[in-house]
Amino acid sequence: MRVLVTGATGQLGSALVPALRARHGREHVIACGHRTAPCPEVADGPCIALEITDRAAVARAVRDHRVGAVYHLAALLSAVGEREPLRAWEVNMGGLLNVLEAAREAGCAVFFPSSVAAFGPGTPAEDTPQDTIQRPATMYGITKLAGELLCDYYFRRHGVDTRGLRYPGLVSHERPPGGGTTDYAVEIFHAALRERRYVCFLAPGTRLDMMYMPDAVRSALELMAADLPRLRHRNAFNVTAMSFTPGELGAQIRRHLPDFVLEYAVDPVRQAIAAGWPRHVDDRAAREEWGWRPQYDLAAMVRDMLARLAAPGTAAP
């Protein structure tokens, strides 16, 4: 099967593309970004520049490459979306609609990553149910909720095999963060190794769900490989791996770097966004319907992140 990945140079894409190439073959996975020069993580195979808001270009890419599945990752994240809400709507919703139309015409499957941002201040914050009230308070969250519904529509109305996950914050050593509310959980590792000091933009007790990138990649691959009849919540599965605060993450880092100092300068915009997100979601539906199980907890993630970032030749963001 030939696979097309939009947003392939982003945090999730740069980790997902190599995993897909290992599974389907290097030449069968086309990495798409809005830049002509790909990032090193995806440069060993087919790469194309694709403007996701250009419907004809998206349809042409799917058709010309005889694509069987699209992993549609291109999006503006939460903090960027609050600065540029109109652009966020154009990219996040317009891009998804273009991908779904191309998939309808070509008969291919679509993976769409939603987010815990699709919930909102009125959602239960502890053990957030799979099915619950969703009234997101950010443009990013609105586009993710609308995206879940749009994928449902294309499945019911047109038979497009759409599947998706509500990701928590993602922690990765591959690429620098891209403007999200949970970016601190990536930045802190680079700062700890480089300067032994980090100034966090969220308050010390801000608890949020998180996932290490290897688990995020594996969850997408496992969902797309799952038997279709088993998937009742096909476009919006809650998934999580761990839940922690900046203070708890800092304490775990200090087990390895005792002189690390964590300070705080709270960004009111990102703090307000975080306040409207779940502290921990209930992901039993994913566990029951397709066997989801995370492999990394906080201690294992911190240990692996520090080891990988400390390796010779690792670039700082």
Known catalytic residues are 140
Q: Residue 57 class from Cβ within 10 Å (0-12 exposed, 13-18 middle, 19+ buried)? A: middle
Q: By three-state DSSP, how is residue 272 classified?
A: helix
CB 219 within 8 A of CB 213: no
Helices 213-225 and 13-24 cross at an angle (nearest 10°) of: 50
Q: Kindly give the pairing relationship between strand 126-128 and strand 280-281.
A: parallel
Task: Using alpha carbons, list the distances in angstroms from residue 233 to 151, 224, 230, 284, 294.
Answer: 11, 13, 9, 11, 19
In whole angstroms, what is the distance from residue 38 CA to residue 13 CA? 11
Q: What angle do CA 271, 238, 228 make, to 5 degrees?
A: 150
Contact 39, 14 (CB under 8 A): yes
CB hemisphere CA count around 299 (13 angstroms): 1
Residue 74: Cβ-neighbour burial (10 angstroms; 0-12, 13-18, 19+): buried
What is the three-class DSSP state of 159?
A: coil
Q: C-alpha angle 119/124/127, rounded to 5°?
A: 100
- Measure the CA dihedral 249/255/260/264, to 10°: 20
Contact 230, 184 (CB under 8 A): no
